[in-house]
Amino acid sequence: MDENAIRAAIFIQKWYRRHQARREMQRRCNWQIFQNLEYASEQDQAELYKFFNDLIKHMPQAAGRKNQYQGSAHVSVLEEKDDLVEEFGEIVNAKIELPIRKNHIDLLIDVFRKKRGNRLHPKYVALILREAAKSLKQLPNISPVSTAVSQQVTVCGDLHGKLDDLLVVLHKNGLPSSSNPYVFNGDFVDRGKRGLEVLLLLLSLYLAFPQAVFLNRGNHEDSVMNARYGFIREVESKYPRNHKRILAFIDEVYRWLPLGSVLNSRVLIVHGGFSDSTSLDLIKSIDRGKYVSILRPPLTDGEPLDKTEWQQIFDIMWSDPQATMGCVPNTLRGAGVWFGPDVTDNFLQKHRLSYVIRSHECKPNGHEFMHDNKIITIFSASNYYAIGSNKGAYIRLNNQLMPHFVQYISAASQTKRLSFKQRMGIVESSALKELAVRMRDHRDELEDEFRRCDPKDSGYISISNWCLVMEKVTKLGLPWRLLRDKLAPGTDSQKVNYNRTLDLLDTDVILEAEADGMSVMDALYANKASLVAIFNIIDADNSGEITLDEFETAIDLLVAHMPGAYSKAEMLEKCRMMDLNGDGKVDLNEFLEAFRLSDLHRKEQQDENIRRRSTGRSAIAKTASDPVALLADKISKNTLVVEHDIDPTDCEAKVIDPKKS
């Protein structure tokens, strides 16, 4: 080979390596955006649990009282006569009756996979939910699973409303049977659009094959989480005239789902993980029916609240493994812990286990080994963040408990038509869209901080200052320098036109995405039970009314959770304003009405801010909006979702050698 050919080969090799490095950097950046946003969102929601916990800690006299709203809502819901009405719109002509058999499963799959005409009659929805709750109620907290007869078992992780992935698993791996048992490891709903169908199909599989289907509870089998992450809105939109009744049945299913499974007495399967204080013996003895929501205080029937017990459930639902030693609070999620390899070794030795299978975290390849292969994470929702963002997987374990992974991606034909650059563009646009929606929560604060860095009102600040402001305000821990070109498009290499960042947040595509989402306050108001629980805890003397002194004690805790939001005096004044009839006390109706009025005012203020910004843009923003408009148009096109009938054969799947994974 001559010298010129060698030089050309070296040049091509260097170019290719740089190209691959840039692609990998882009992939990691997008992945970090998705994960940090997901954890930050869950951290907001977990703050509700912390607030409850601190209220109970400082108001112990309230901790043992029965939550009257929850108690009355759940005592007899399974025994009550269905009070269902006919729904408007198209209802499929499909009849479900007991006992549920394989032919019913085939019927449900055929109905649910269609993009239209896929709604069951509400009486059949209620039938499946009620019968499943009654049956689940009889199960232990930790389900024993055995391969003695089947010689193998399949474990699936998070599905998050991705019906296409569930149908791919059943298509590739077969329906459950005595020779083909399944464990589904929680997080069946939220985020995806077909959560109700996923839940109904899983419960129907359980009713049809009760000895071959094991369902574990995840942290999203919780009405408080559902109010924030979309499942409650999904049920309301599909059954607008019966959603309250259906959601009451779903709560019953949640409270009676087992907390985990143990395979052959050697492998623990739980949704999240464990802590250095987790005791399976204690978990087995818990009355799990008290925990309608894990984020709210449990039903206690007048008995003192056992916060140690509550923490046990929280840890197995919310925790994640870490590479470093020790057990520390999970600050990213705001709940559960990070547990290290030493904690894993002690836990396995204490409970005579070989390893643990858990879910709870999206992984690029659908699975991951940690802690010397003693912790296996399995995640079964492919295309979770966007088309092409990740693969899904499930585990098949043989009689010797050797894991074999099947990795897949659903709707494969959609990705096959795209080039690598197009796939990366879709993932990047989805990441930027989610990030911009999150940034809108802090839009006014961002603008104030940008202007402080720009005393001459030039519209430009240094890259360093732009990055500092972005991190100071959002606290997302993202590589802002890499994102500068995306969030402030068209600016030069020395300074940043921050108006373009603000303009991007005010584009139609971001505003529409924000309207489709739900804030913590939206979720709190939508979930009346949480407000009632807060009222009952603040009402320390159980009088049915809250005095100013009781409010003051709660405010001291609220200030700790919302530092800098309002002064104590301002919050006390707001409490006085809740007293609508002027009797010096606030009853439950006044408390809920104050939240409703506040919610309306907040939304009106948001609309007014949007109108003000659209008419009051600076001259700089007006003349430099083209790059922003182009980016917004790209995001809109790349994130447009077109629904199709689900074809479970439209997938790519392969068996992964665990020794090479």
Task: Tokens 């009938």: give the residue.
Answer: 645
C-alpha distance from residue 83 to each of 122, 203, 246 (Å):
10, 22, 10
Element spanning 641, H or E: none
C-alpha distance from residue 355 to each of 71, 260, 403, 445, 536 (Å):
38, 14, 11, 47, 42
86: helix, coil or strand?
coil
Please compute Rg for the chain using Cα positions.
Answer: 26
Q: Which residues contact 108 (CB under 8 A, 6 or more apart)?
A: 94, 96, 120, 200, 201, 204
Separation between Cα atoms, residue 164 and residue 413, nearest integer Å: 13
Separation between Cα atoms, residue 310 and residue 412, nearest integer Å: 42
Helix ranges restricted to H, 539-625: 548-561, 568-578, 588-615, 619-623
Q: Do residues 559 and 633 make contact, with C-beta atoms less than 8 angstroms apart? A: no
Nearest Cα neighbor of 481 from 490, 473, 493 is 493
CB atoms within 10 A of CB 643: 10
Q: Which of 160, 171, 220, 243 is catalytic?
A: 220
Q: Which residues contact 229 (CB under 8 A, 6 or more apart)?
A: 41, 190, 191, 220, 518
Beta-strand pair 337-339/355-358: unpaired
Q: Strand locations in 292-386, DSSP E?
A: 320-321, 327-329, 337-339, 355-358, 367-370, 375-378
Token pair for residue 628?
Answer: 């922003």
377: helix, coil or strand?
strand
Nearest Cα neighbor of 35 from 407, 427, 418 is 427
Token pair for residue 260?
Answer: 């985990």
| Phi, psi dihedrals of residue 433, rounded to the nearest 5° | -65, -45
Separation between Cα atoms, residue 175 and residue 108, nearest integer Å: 13
Helix ranges restricted to H, 498-587: 498-505, 508-516, 520-526, 528-538, 548-561, 568-578
Separation between Cα atoms, residue 121 and residue 200, nearest integer Å: 13
Separation between Cα atoms, residue 452 and residue 39, nearest integer Å: 30
Nearest Cα neighbor of 120 from 102, 97, 147 is 97
Instruction: Supply the DSSP symbol for 177.
Output: B
Separation between Cα atoms, residue 448 and residue 172, nearest integer Å: 54
Nearest Cα neighbor of 156 from 373, 317, 378 is 378
Active site residue 220: yes
The sign of the dihedral angle between the CA atoms of 100, 104, 106, 107 is negative
Token pair for residue 56?
Answer: 């109970």
Contacts 24+ apart (CB under 8 A), 631-635: 631/432, 631/486, 631/489, 631/504, 632/504, 632/507, 632/508, 632/509, 632/510, 634/425, 634/429, 635/429, 635/432, 635/433, 635/436, 635/509, 635/510
Active site residues: 220
